[in-house]
Structure 1
Amino acid sequence: MSLVGEERKEVIIHLLNYAGKVRTNELVEKLQVSSETIRRYLEELESEKKLKRVYGGAVKINYDREEPSHLTREVSHAEEKKKIGRAAAKLVQDNDAIVIDDGTTTLHMLSYLINKKNLKILTISVPALNVLMDYLNRELFTGEVYFIGGKVQSKHFRTVGTLAEKMMQNFFVDKAFISIDGILAHKGITSYDADKAMLGRRFIEHSQEIIVLTDHSKIGISTFYKVADLKEIDSVISDVPAPKEWRHELDQRGVNWIVGE
């Protein structure tokens, strides 16, 4: 592979987005340069805060070791989330029954659903519930809203837990719009929170179509609790294209990657 230094570093970043980590010996073989050259590239990328060096290679930086609060997430990547929400709303048809997961990305869907007719919306998000009730009171929305009750996580303005899971088992919907904390091609989608991950599985089991909403900061990240494999997902909506190295696996698993505009 005959590439200049900046192109080689770009390859390293793409590989990080694919796997979440890279090994020095594998990079030596792939880029056909010395281990000293690879170490220099990794040092430069670390100084640019694009990765973290570890013994034998490097890993993608994940600044958050726990899920940020709703208020923190609300101001993070707001413009990107708006584009994702608008693209997600385009997938909703009149008369659909849908689940809208909690999260600030899914919240951006709501204003684009006003002109849809006869929707049935289920949510665990308190902010989403407040917005939808306001729409109902102002006659901007004519569908039905169901709140999935359970254990309240006040930091995240949502409900989770076994009661929420049992309530969800009484419903079957057309589409589930899922928020996540991490996505990797070979590991699937993940969450920081065990209760949230389990409830996400119930959404998937009781939905005909699964749509994941994620901004670029979650791509190439794996958090502690697994929600689902990539093959269980129908579509991913993001603000950026899928990493090049993922395209074969996405095609193989029938996952449609949509870029919000």
Structure 2
Amino acid sequence: MSSEEDTTISGAAPMIPDQRRELMLRQLRKHQVLSVHQLMEMFDCSHMTVRRDIALLEQSGRAYSVTGGVRIASQVHSEPSHQSKAVVELPHKQAMARLAAGLLHPEMTVYLDAGTSTLEIVPHIIALSGMTVVTNDFGVVNALAEATHVDVIHTGGMLDHPNRSCVGGLAAATLRHLATDVAFMSTSSWDLQRGTTTPSALKVEVKQAAMEAASRCVLLTTSSKYGTFGMYKVAGLEQFDTIISDEGLAQAAAESIRAHGVELLLASVEKNR
């Protein structure tokens, strides 16, 4: 038997592995998520062959492994509002923020990108002395309003009403006049092939300016966003010094990220409850 099996589907003629993977993608576009067992039955092939195909599709950024199966890479056309994001995956965000706190020390200048994950870092900043926070997020400003020992700089710029943050050229211009020790960046979508992306063109310039102004860049994002992508690219994953996510990230994805030389920290929600 060859290293990759020739397979059939619905009585079709035998096919080469590339054809099989293209048909797998066609089925995934139809169903979004399929289990390994379903694919074994569809293509009359072994568990090892299906897993090998999934790994190759993942390498090309077209599909991503999930527990027991695979899902199609999906495009994000819009971002949820601040209000809707605030109640989603809160334990994951709090656990990630605790890992992020390990990168902080007194007398730092920190950039907090707009987002509900970065917002969870605020209590850890308040616990330190001599801190300065730069942000484009009004939620962060509000959370620091009573913390008079923390200096706060808001970027200004065009208001993104649903996300309660500022975007556009004016916000980016402010950041180009500043230097920060660390930038904690958020994203609505990410993967190894496309990096961090967004459906909002106005966010790109701000995010890139924040990263350029920082001595260290840290991506803070939940695993549920991995394998999704927006129209506009912000940065490749290799441009981040550290990525903080949660243990829900597929093992194959984690191994690939680390193989590219990026430090990856995965927060355990169970241990941090």
TM-score (norm 2): 0.71
Q: 1:205-224 residue pairs with structure 2 within 5 A?
A: 205-224=212-231
- Give the Cα separation in 1 of the matches to 2:113 and 2:71: 33
Question: Does residue 1:202 correspond to 2:209, yes or no?
Answer: yes
TM-score by length of 1: 0.74
The match for 1:109 is 121
CA drift at 1:60: 3.7
Deviation string, structure 1 residues 50-83 (Cα, Å, up to 9, x no partner)? 99xxxxx962456x53100110111111111111
Q: Separation in 2 of the partners of 1:35 and 1:256?
A: 38
Residue aligned with 1:134, SS: coil
Q: Which residue of 2 aligns with 1:126?
A: 138
CA contact 2:181–2:215 (8 Å) conserved in 1: yes
Task: Report the counterpart of residue 175 of structure 2 in structure 1.
Answer: 168
Structure 2 residue 86 is matched with structure 1 residue 79: no
Q: Is residue 2:101 matched to residue 1:89?
A: yes
| 1:230 CA displacement | 1.3
Matched, 1:59 2:66: no
- Partner deviation per Cα, 1:207-254 (whole Å, 9 max, x = no partner): 111101111211111111111011101111112264333345423432
Q: Deviations over 1:8-60 (max 9, x none)?
A: xxxxxxxxxxxxxx64469xxxx99686347xx9xxxxxxxx99xxxxx9624
Take 1:153 and 1:208, find their aligned partners in 2: how far apart are those partners?
A: 27
Partner of 1:19: none
- 2:165 maps to 1:153: no
Aligned to 1:250: 257
1:234 is aligned to 2:241: yes
Post-superposition CA distance 1:133-189 (Å, at most 9, x none): 1222xxxxx231111100011111001111111111000111000000111112111
How many positions carry a matched residue from both structures? 217
Larger Rg over CA atoms: 2
Contact 1:241/1:257 (CA < 8 Å) preserved in 2? Answer: no
Structure with higher RCO (Cα < 8 A, 6+ apart) = 1
3-state SS, counterpart of residue 261 of structure 2: coil
Gap regions ≥5 residues in structure 2: 1-20, 26-36, 51-62, 65-69
Residue identity (%) = 24
Distance 2:172 2:138 in 1: 17
User: Any conservation in 2 of the 1:188–1:228 contact (CA below 8 Å)?
Assistant: yes
